[in-house]
Amino acid sequence: MTTVKTYMRPMAGWWRKNPFFVRYMIREASAPLFYLYALWLLAGIVALATGPSAYAAWWAVAKHPLMILANLVVLVFAVYHTWTWFSVLPKTTPELDVAPGALITGGIVAAVVACVALLAFAWGVTR
């Protein structure tokens, strides 16, 4: 074993020292936002089940400009999260005879198609 004196550098602020780590931390730190957003949607369902007045109250908060702004912020991070998620897809699949770039593009295209289909469906049933 080593017996000479060594110096161990501290890890404080590690993620600010490299843009790659900053992008990683934004990806990871955005996850709790989606948790909160899911709770907010769940609150809407509970309000709907409780009765018309509770649902009207939830809806009034949902229409508040600050809430719309919060929705936009979550949307921006959701898009970023989706993009970074598919960017690491080639690291998580088994060995495939597909180019990593094709996997990433395929994932992002699938996500866009799924979002458009869901929006079209929601548009169709709520009109």
Partner 1 sequence: MAESTKTIEIECLRFNPETDSAPRYQTYKVPFTDDMSVLQGLQYIKDELDGSLTFRWSCRMAICGSCGSMINQVPHLSCETFLRDYYPGKLRVEPLNHFPILRDLAIDQTDFVRNKLPSIKPYLIPKQQKTLEQGEYLQTPAEMHKYYHYSECINCLLCYAACPQYGLDPKFTGPAAIALMHRYNADSRDGGRAERAELANSDEGVWGCTLVGYCSEVCPKGVDPAHAVNQNKMASAVDYFLRFLRPYGGKR
> Under the rule (CB under 8 A), what is the footprint of partner 1?
1-2, 4-9, 11, 14-15, 17-18, 20-21, 24, 28, 88, 90-95
CA distances from 126 to 39, 90, 108, 121, 123 (A): 23, 38, 27, 9, 5
Q: Whole-angstrom Cα distance, residue 30 to residue 40? A: 16
Q: How far is the CB of 11 from partner 1 (least distance, A)?
A: 5
User: Considering the complex, what minimum distance in angstroms separates the CB of residue 29 from partner 1?
Assistant: 12
Residue (92 or 126) nearer to partner 1, CB: 92
Name the amino acid, one letter, at 43. Answer: A
Comparison of 1 and 125: residue with beta carbon closer to partner 1: 1
The nearest distance, CB 109 to partner 1, in angstroms, is 21
Cβ 101 to partner 1 shortest distance, Å: 14
Looking from the CA of 5 toward its CB, the CA atoms found within 13 Å total 0
Residue 74 CB partners (closer than 8 Å, separation 6+): 33, 34, 37
Q: Quick check: 44 and 62 in contact, CB under 8 A?
A: yes
Q: Which is nearer to partner 1, 16 or 64 (CB)?
A: 16
CB-wise, 100 or 106, nearer to partner 1? 100
